Amino acid sequence: MSTAKFLLYAAAGAAIVYLLTADKAKGLRDEIADNAGEWKDKLGKLASDTSDSLTDLKKRIKKEAGSLTDDAREKITSILDEGTKTAKSVKNSAAKQLS
Residue pLDDT, tens place only, 26-77: 777 778 788 888 888 888 788 778 777 877 777 777 777 666 677 777 787 7
* 99: pLDDT strictly greater than 70: no
Cα separation of 5 and 59, whole Å?
55
- Among 84, 63, 81, 65, residue whose Cα is nearest residue 73: 65
What is the domain range of residue 19?
3-98
Count CB-CB contacts under 10 A for residue 47. 19
Cα separation of 55 and 20, whole Å?
45
* 5: pLDDT strictly greater than 70: yes
Cα separation of 46 and 49, whole Å?
5
pLDDT digits (tens, 9 = 90+) for 21-31: 766 667 777 78
pTM for this structure? Answer: 0.38
CA Rg, the chain, in Å? 23
Number of domains comprising the chain: 1
